[in-house]
Amino acid sequence: MRTLFAALGIMLLAHIGYAGETTVLKTEREKISYGIGMDIGENMKRQSIDIDPDILAQGMKDVFAGNKLLLTEEEFRNTMENFKKDMMAKQKMQMQEISDNNKKEGEAFLAENKKKEGVITLPSGLQYKIIKEGEGNPPKETDTVTVHYKGTLIDGTEFDSSYSRGEPATFPVKGVIPGWTEALQLMKPGSTWQLFIPSNLAYGERGAGGKIGPNSTLVFDVELLSIK
């Protein structure tokens, strides 16, 4: 908790060192101090952390000056522990709201999408549309495939693309998300399909990386190049 408290204090280091508001940064030390303040301030603002900057500055000044502190060690520990619990509860609530919204929007998207011409819905909930049909036998679960693909959210936001990297991807059929594993075993070499994958067949409640939120429905353009 002291680490968190110190991080909060860094934001006001520049403020502490000046008698008034500064509009010109003259030294490298001032620039570094201001830059750190910007970075942490933006992070705190993004998290909607409610603090009193003046009281925070006083706490920093008292520590550096060796003044008598207004909180005992026990009061400090209890206060920061409660703060940590409140922040975790707030973040959990926010993530649950995002998760619920993603799930609701995904279900609505799939319900409309299955009505579109050429879209096939499987019992699992996976949907696909054949863009180009290939030839030969589909891969088995134990096979390894090479594919080109592009992945987007239902709003069209791209989160991954082998096309952008300029190199296809190779992986085991059973080594990807369930929606992919199921679809690949139906595709013939040379096929290009568009997959519409419900969240439970994608990354579920955990999401993936910074772009795929919890319970996100995903859309993939997949070109099956070869089977090993």
**Is 177 a catalytic site residue?**
yes
List 109, 160, 197, 227, catalytic entry:
160
Rounded-to-integer distance, Cα 144 and Cα 169, Å: 10
List 109, 128, 196, 220, catalytic entry:
220
Q: How many CB atoms lie within 10 A of CB 119?
A: 16
Q: Tokens 């997959």 label which residue?
A: 195
List 34, 76, 159, 163, catalytic entry:
159
| Helices 53-65, 2-10: crossing angle, 10 deg rounding | 110
List 128, 197, 203, 212, catalytic entry:
203
Nearest to 152 by CA among 92, 101, 194: 194
List 109, 128, 149, 196, catalytic entry:
149
**Is 34 a catalytic site residue?**
no
**Is 128 a catalytic site residue?**
no
**Is 221 a catalytic site residue?**
no
Assess contact for 148 and 223: CB atoms under 8 A. yes
- Structural tokens at position 174: 């059973």
Q: Which residues contact 2 (CB under 8 A, 6 or more apart)?
A: 80
State the greatest distance between any 2 C-alpha atoms of the chain, in Å, as a whole number: 80
**Is 171 a catalytic site residue?**
no
Q: Which residues are catalytic, by number?
A: 149, 159-160, 177, 203, 220
